[in-house]
Amino acid sequence: MENKKPNKELTVDEKINRRNFISFGVFALMGAAFYKGWQWLYHTPKEAPGITAGAKVPLRRALNKTELAFRNFFSNNNLVKTYPKSMAAKNVRVNSTIGMGGKFVVDDWKLKVTKANGQTMDITIDQIKALPKTEIVFDFKCVEGWDQIQYWGGLKLIDFINHFNLADQTQLGYVGMMTPDKGYQVGLDMPSAIHPQTILAYEMNGQPLPMNHGAPLRLIIPVKYGIKNLKRIGSITFSDTRPPDYWARIGYDYYSGL
Protein backbone atom coordinates (compact mmCIF):
# COMPACT_ATOMS: atom_id res chain seq x y z
CA MET A 1 0.00 0.00 0.00
CA GLU A 2 1.38 3.28 -0.99
CA ASN A 3 1.31 5.90 1.70
CA LYS A 4 0.15 8.82 -0.45
CA LYS A 5 -0.38 12.11 1.25
CA PRO A 6 -3.90 13.51 0.96
CA ASN A 7 -4.09 16.24 -1.66
CA LYS A 8 -4.72 19.11 0.70
CA GLU A 9 -1.76 18.54 2.95
CA LEU A 10 0.92 20.80 1.58
CA THR A 11 4.51 20.67 2.65
CA VAL A 12 5.99 23.68 4.40
CA ASP A 13 7.85 24.66 1.25
CA GLU A 14 4.71 24.48 -0.80
CA LYS A 15 2.90 26.69 1.72
CA ILE A 16 5.64 29.29 1.55
CA ASN A 17 5.61 29.23 -2.23
CA ARG A 18 1.87 29.67 -2.34
CA ARG A 19 2.01 32.56 0.11
CA ASN A 20 4.78 34.26 -1.82
CA PHE A 21 2.76 33.86 -4.98
CA ILE A 22 -0.28 35.48 -3.37
CA SER A 23 1.70 38.35 -1.78
CA PHE A 24 3.45 39.19 -5.01
CA GLY A 25 0.16 39.01 -6.84
CA VAL A 26 -1.47 41.46 -4.47
CA PHE A 27 1.59 43.69 -4.58
CA ALA A 28 1.57 43.72 -8.38
CA LEU A 29 -2.15 44.50 -8.47
CA MET A 30 -1.71 47.39 -6.05
CA GLY A 31 1.15 48.67 -8.12
CA ALA A 32 -0.94 48.54 -11.26
CA ALA A 33 -3.85 50.30 -9.56
CA PHE A 34 -1.54 52.98 -8.19
CA TYR A 35 0.02 53.46 -11.63
CA LYS A 36 -3.43 53.71 -13.23
CA GLY A 37 -4.50 56.31 -10.61
CA TRP A 38 -1.37 58.31 -11.13
CA GLN A 39 -1.80 58.16 -14.90
CA TRP A 40 -5.38 59.35 -14.52
CA LEU A 41 -4.29 62.30 -12.35
CA TYR A 42 -1.44 63.06 -14.71
CA HIS A 43 -3.82 63.32 -17.67
CA THR A 44 -6.46 65.43 -15.91
CA PRO A 45 -6.48 69.06 -17.02
CA LYS A 46 -4.80 71.82 -15.06
CA GLU A 47 -6.98 74.49 -13.51
CA ALA A 48 -7.06 77.76 -15.39
CA PRO A 49 -3.96 79.59 -14.20
CA GLY A 50 -4.52 83.02 -12.73
CA ILE A 51 -5.67 83.43 -9.17
CA THR A 52 -4.13 80.19 -7.90
CA ALA A 53 -1.13 78.40 -9.35
CA GLY A 54 -1.93 75.78 -12.00
CA ALA A 55 -2.65 72.62 -9.99
CA LYS A 56 -4.41 69.58 -11.42
CA VAL A 57 -8.17 70.15 -11.27
CA PRO A 58 -8.91 67.19 -8.91
CA LEU A 59 -6.13 68.29 -6.56
CA ARG A 60 -7.41 71.86 -6.43
CA ARG A 61 -10.88 70.49 -5.76
CA ALA A 62 -9.51 68.58 -2.78
CA LEU A 63 -7.62 71.64 -1.55
CA ASN A 64 -10.75 73.77 -1.74
CA LYS A 65 -12.74 71.14 0.19
CA THR A 66 -10.11 71.16 2.92
CA GLU A 67 -10.20 74.94 3.00
CA LEU A 68 -13.97 74.89 3.42
CA ALA A 69 -13.72 72.41 6.29
CA PHE A 70 -11.25 74.69 8.07
CA ARG A 71 -13.40 77.75 7.40
CA ASN A 72 -16.40 76.08 9.02
CA PHE A 73 -14.33 74.83 11.91
CA PHE A 74 -12.73 78.19 12.70
CA SER A 75 -15.93 80.16 12.86
CA ASN A 76 -15.98 83.93 12.93
CA ASN A 77 -16.51 84.01 16.69
CA ASN A 78 -13.03 82.68 17.39
CA LEU A 79 -10.67 85.36 18.62
CA VAL A 80 -6.92 85.13 18.24
CA LYS A 81 -5.10 85.12 21.58
CA THR A 82 -3.94 88.56 22.71
CA TYR A 83 -1.11 89.63 25.06
CA PRO A 84 -0.28 92.54 27.37
CA LYS A 85 1.49 95.49 25.66
CA SER A 86 4.54 94.86 27.87
CA MET A 87 5.17 91.62 25.95
CA ALA A 88 5.27 93.29 22.52
CA ALA A 89 8.59 93.29 20.64
CA LYS A 90 10.42 96.63 20.62
CA ASN A 91 12.39 95.74 17.48
CA VAL A 92 9.68 94.68 15.10
CA ARG A 93 10.97 92.45 12.38
CA VAL A 94 10.84 93.73 8.79
CA ASN A 95 10.16 90.99 6.27
CA SER A 96 9.93 91.35 2.48
CA THR A 97 9.00 94.68 0.86
CA ILE A 98 7.51 93.59 -2.46
CA GLY A 99 5.43 96.35 -4.08
CA MET A 100 7.04 98.96 -1.86
CA GLY A 101 9.73 100.31 -4.16
CA GLY A 102 9.52 103.17 -6.58
CA LYS A 103 8.83 106.82 -5.99
CA PHE A 104 6.04 106.65 -3.45
CA VAL A 105 4.97 109.99 -1.95
CA VAL A 106 3.23 109.20 1.30
CA ASP A 107 1.65 112.69 1.53
CA ASP A 108 -0.10 112.21 -1.83
CA TRP A 109 -1.54 108.87 -0.74
CA LYS A 110 -5.24 108.16 -0.94
CA LEU A 111 -6.98 104.84 -0.47
CA LYS A 112 -8.96 103.81 -3.55
CA VAL A 113 -12.06 101.70 -2.79
CA THR A 114 -13.90 99.91 -5.59
CA LYS A 115 -17.30 98.37 -5.04
CA ALA A 116 -18.50 95.32 -6.96
CA ASN A 117 -20.60 97.56 -9.23
CA GLY A 118 -17.50 99.52 -10.25
CA GLN A 119 -18.23 102.59 -8.12
CA THR A 120 -15.07 104.01 -6.58
CA MET A 121 -14.16 106.42 -3.80
CA ASP A 122 -10.95 107.97 -2.52
CA ILE A 123 -10.36 108.11 1.22
CA THR A 124 -7.63 110.08 3.00
CA ILE A 125 -5.58 108.94 5.98
CA ASP A 126 -7.11 111.76 8.07
CA GLN A 127 -10.61 110.41 7.42
CA ILE A 128 -9.43 107.03 8.66
CA LYS A 129 -7.59 108.39 11.71
CA ALA A 130 -10.67 110.40 12.71
CA LEU A 131 -12.59 107.19 13.44
CA PRO A 132 -12.33 105.18 16.70
CA LYS A 133 -8.98 103.42 17.05
CA THR A 134 -8.59 99.74 17.91
CA GLU A 135 -5.37 98.27 19.31
CA ILE A 136 -4.18 94.69 19.34
CA VAL A 137 -1.17 92.80 20.72
CA PHE A 138 -0.90 89.33 19.22
CA ASP A 139 1.57 86.74 17.98
CA PHE A 140 2.32 87.58 14.33
CA LYS A 141 3.26 84.44 12.37
CA CYS A 142 5.18 84.27 9.10
CA VAL A 143 5.09 81.12 6.95
CA GLU A 144 8.86 81.34 6.75
CA GLY A 145 8.98 80.12 10.31
CA TRP A 146 9.30 83.13 12.62
CA ASP A 147 6.75 84.68 14.93
CA GLN A 148 6.78 87.73 17.16
CA ILE A 149 4.38 89.34 19.62
CA GLN A 150 3.54 92.71 18.06
CA TYR A 151 1.44 95.72 18.99
CA TRP A 152 -0.60 97.47 16.29
CA GLY A 153 -3.22 100.22 16.22
CA GLY A 154 -5.72 101.33 13.60
CA LEU A 155 -9.26 101.15 12.34
CA LYS A 156 -11.14 97.86 12.34
CA LEU A 157 -11.87 96.91 8.74
CA ILE A 158 -15.51 96.23 9.68
CA ASP A 159 -15.77 99.72 11.25
CA PHE A 160 -14.28 101.17 8.05
CA ILE A 161 -16.81 99.24 5.96
CA ASN A 162 -19.76 100.40 8.03
CA HIS A 163 -18.63 104.01 8.25
CA PHE A 164 -18.13 104.37 4.50
CA ASN A 165 -21.49 102.73 3.67
CA LEU A 166 -19.96 99.55 2.32
CA ALA A 167 -21.98 97.14 4.49
CA ASP A 168 -23.82 95.75 1.45
CA GLN A 169 -20.45 94.68 0.03
CA THR A 170 -20.01 92.17 2.86
CA GLN A 171 -22.61 89.99 1.12
CA LEU A 172 -19.89 89.26 -1.43
CA GLY A 173 -17.30 86.53 -1.10
CA TYR A 174 -14.02 88.41 -1.14
CA VAL A 175 -12.02 91.51 -0.36
CA GLY A 176 -8.92 92.28 -2.42
CA MET A 177 -6.07 94.62 -1.52
CA MET A 178 -3.07 95.84 -3.52
CA THR A 179 -0.09 98.10 -3.07
CA PRO A 180 -0.32 101.40 -5.01
CA ASP A 181 2.05 99.99 -7.67
CA LYS A 182 -0.05 96.76 -7.79
CA GLY A 183 3.14 94.76 -7.18
CA TYR A 184 1.80 92.91 -4.13
CA GLN A 185 -1.78 91.73 -3.78
CA VAL A 186 -3.82 89.75 -1.29
CA GLY A 187 -7.23 88.12 -1.59
CA LEU A 188 -9.25 87.62 1.59
CA ASP A 189 -12.37 85.56 2.20
CA MET A 190 -15.10 87.85 3.58
CA PRO A 191 -15.45 86.19 7.03
CA SER A 192 -11.73 86.78 7.71
CA ALA A 193 -11.85 90.34 6.33
CA ILE A 194 -14.71 91.38 8.62
CA HIS A 195 -13.34 89.44 11.60
CA PRO A 196 -13.38 91.75 14.67
CA GLN A 197 -9.56 91.63 14.98
CA THR A 198 -8.83 92.60 11.37
CA ILE A 199 -7.56 96.20 11.27
CA LEU A 200 -6.28 98.82 8.86
CA ALA A 201 -3.22 99.73 10.89
CA TYR A 202 -1.59 103.20 10.95
CA GLU A 203 0.31 102.74 14.24
CA MET A 204 2.92 100.30 15.53
CA ASN A 205 3.98 100.27 19.21
CA GLY A 206 1.85 103.38 19.74
CA GLN A 207 3.83 105.35 17.11
CA PRO A 208 3.01 106.31 13.50
CA LEU A 209 3.58 103.33 11.19
CA PRO A 210 7.16 103.35 9.79
CA MET A 211 7.63 103.28 6.01
CA ASN A 212 9.18 99.79 5.96
CA HIS A 213 6.18 98.43 7.86
CA GLY A 214 3.76 99.83 5.28
CA ALA A 215 3.04 103.52 6.00
CA PRO A 216 0.62 105.13 5.77
CA LEU A 217 -1.76 102.15 6.05
CA ARG A 218 -1.26 98.39 6.23
CA LEU A 219 -3.43 95.39 6.87
CA ILE A 220 -3.21 93.52 10.18
CA ILE A 221 -5.22 90.32 9.96
CA PRO A 222 -4.34 88.09 12.94
CA VAL A 223 -6.39 85.12 11.69
CA LYS A 224 -3.99 84.81 8.75
CA TYR A 225 -0.29 84.22 8.23
CA GLY A 226 1.98 87.20 7.59
CA ILE A 227 1.76 86.89 3.80
CA LYS A 228 -1.83 88.22 3.90
CA ASN A 229 -0.89 91.26 6.07
CA LEU A 230 -0.36 93.60 3.13
CA LYS A 231 1.83 96.63 3.75
CA ARG A 232 1.20 99.98 2.04
CA ILE A 233 -2.41 99.43 0.97
CA GLY A 234 -3.25 101.33 -2.22
CA SER A 235 -6.64 99.88 -3.07
CA ILE A 236 -9.45 97.82 -1.62
CA THR A 237 -11.94 95.97 -3.82
CA PHE A 238 -15.04 93.87 -3.13
CA SER A 239 -16.01 90.94 -5.37
CA ASP A 240 -17.56 87.51 -5.61
CA THR A 241 -14.61 86.12 -7.51
CA ARG A 242 -11.22 85.55 -5.94
CA PRO A 243 -9.07 88.68 -6.21
CA PRO A 244 -5.46 88.29 -7.34
CA ASP A 245 -3.07 87.14 -4.65
CA TYR A 246 0.71 87.37 -4.99
CA TRP A 247 1.60 84.19 -3.07
CA ALA A 248 -1.41 82.09 -4.12
CA ARG A 249 -0.51 82.69 -7.76
CA ILE A 250 2.83 80.97 -7.24
CA GLY A 251 1.37 78.10 -5.29
CA TYR A 252 0.89 79.11 -1.65
CA ASP A 253 -2.42 78.33 0.02
CA TYR A 254 -5.01 80.93 -0.95
CA TYR A 255 -6.76 80.83 2.42
CA SER A 256 -3.52 80.92 4.49
CA GLY A 257 -5.45 80.84 7.76
CA LEU A 258 -3.98 79.91 11.12
Ligand X SMILES: Nc1nc2c(c(=O)[nH]1)N[C@H]1C(S)=C(S)[C@@H](COP(=O)(O)O)O[C@H]1N2
Question: Does 98 participate in binding Mo ion (rule CB under 5 A)?
Answer: no
- Which of the stretches 29-37, 62-70, 186-194, 224-232 binds Mo ion when contact is defined by CB under 5 A? 224-232
Identify what 229 binds: Mo ion, ligand X, none; CB under 5 to 8 Å per kind.
ligand X
3-state SS track over the chain: CCCCCCCCCCCHHHHHHHHHHHHHHHHHHHHHHHHHHHHHHHHCCECCCCCCCCCEHHHHHHHHHHHHHHHHHCCCCCCCCECCHHHCCCCCCCCCCCCCCCCCCHHHCCEEEECCCCCEEEECHHHHHCCCCEEEEEEEECCCCCEEEEEEEEEEHHHHHHHCCCHHHHHCCEEEEECCCCCCEEEEEHHHHCCCCCEEEEEECCEECCHHHCCCCEEECCCECHHHCCCCCCEEEEECCCCCCHHHHCCCCCCCEC
Binders of ligand X among 208-237, rule CB under 6 A?
Answer: 213, 226-227, 229-232
| Closest CB to Mo ion among residues 99, 226 | 226
The least distance separating ligand X from the CB of residue 181, rounded to whole angstroms, comes to 9
Task: Choose, by CB under 5 A, the member of 55, 142, 172, 211 that binds Mo ion.
Answer: 142
Question: Does 156 participate in binding ligand X (rule CB under 6 A)?
Answer: no
Binders of ligand X among 172-201, rule CB under 6 A?
Answer: 179, 184
Question: Does 93 participate in binding ligand X (rule CB under 6 A)?
Answer: yes
Identify what 52 binds: ligand X, Mo ion, none; CB under 5 to 8 Å per kind.
none
| Closest CB to ligand X among residues 99, 216 | 99
What residue ranges bind Mo ion (CB under 5 A)? 95, 142, 226-227
